[in-house]
Amino acid sequence: MGLALQVTISFGYRHNLGSLNKGLMICSCKNLIVHEQQSVMQLVIEYFEQQSGRALWGKEWDDKSRFRFGGAQILVGKPRVEVELLDRLFCSSVVIAPHLSRRGPNGLWILSRAANHPLEQAFHSRKLYYLRDQGCPNVIVEIDGWRTAYSLELFRSREFAEERAIEEKDAFGADLDVSAAAGSDLLGLIAAVDVIDIYDIGISRFPISIDGTIFCGEAQLASADALLAAIGI
């Protein structure tokens, strides 16, 4: 019987925040992070930008030790290791980020699903298409008063996605290309946003995060079974 969990240990990050995007992200988070967390969060941001490029940043306002970077749930300091988060669609990995120390070693513990995890098995053969803007998923920002949510359109066929790309080109001049995601990559896309819109003959909306439930008018997060039913075989 195979493992359902895998652990990556990454050590020895250096302070190298040369890009404008990284610098802006650090500045935007200074008011959210207590002093002793700032150094380790600089390393977390650098690591994930190197791994995955653009991603959505967020935090829980009632907990200064919990952050989100895309689908990665980041726990800072000496938290309880919440492995059970990996059973939820909004989480693609759990990152333990201890405070930096002179003694070291300084690094991150990254827990992610292995091939035998139930979600990995359920989504293994499922594939959807999505639009990309300059090589990154075309994430849509939805605003309602002071609330903001991020959504991603997924398509059951390449034809639907190509039609949508033409519509975006005609309406906004956007030059978008079509890409496909399956299995772990598809789960990663789902976890990175608040709302998933699945296009078939109509549009079905699925809240992935708490913010997503507000924008979808739902009381609960979408279940894996509901998403799988909408995706089909």
Q: What is the pLDDT of residues 80-113, one digit of tens each?
A: 888 999 999 999 999 888 877 777 667 788 899 9
Q: Is the pLDDT of residue 54 over 60?
A: no
Cis peptide before 137 (omega within 30 of 0): no
Q: Which two tokens stand for residue 97?
A: 């980020």
Q: Mention the CATH class of domain 122-231.
A: alpha beta
Other C-beta atoms lying within 10 Å of the C-beta of residue 40: 22
Ramachandran sector of residue 167 (left: φ over 0; alpha: ψ -120 to 50; beta: rest): alpha
* Mean pLDDT over the full length of the chain: 80
State residue 19's pLDDT score.
Answer: 32
**Element housing 107 (H / E):** strand 107-113
Q: Which residue has the tokens 């959210």?
A: 32
More confident residue, 119 or 14: 119
* pTM, to two decimals: 0.80
B/e letters for 52-82, b = 16+ CB within 10 Å, e = fewer, are: beebebbbeeeeebbbbbbbbbbbbeeeeee
- What's the gap between Cα 3 and its chain centre? 23
What's the rounded mean pLDDT across residues 156-165?
95
CATH 3.40.1350 intervals, the chain: 122-231
Q: Using CA atoms, how far apart are residues 152 and 194, in angstroms rounded to an integer?
A: 8
Q: Are 66 and 76 a contacting pair, CB within 8 Å?
A: yes
Q: In this structure, what are the phi and psi dihedrals at residue 185, rounded to the nearest 5 degrees? A: -65, -40
State residue 80's pLDDT score.
Answer: 83
Q: Is the pLDDT of residue 198 over 90?
A: yes
Q: Using CA atoms, how far apart are residues 209 and 193, in angstroms rounded to an integer?
A: 8
Q: Are 155 and 110 a contacting pair, CB within 8 Å?
A: no
Q: pLDDT tens-digit profile of 203-233?
A: 899 999 999 999 999 999 999 999 999 998 6
- What's the gap between Cα 178 and its chain centre? 19
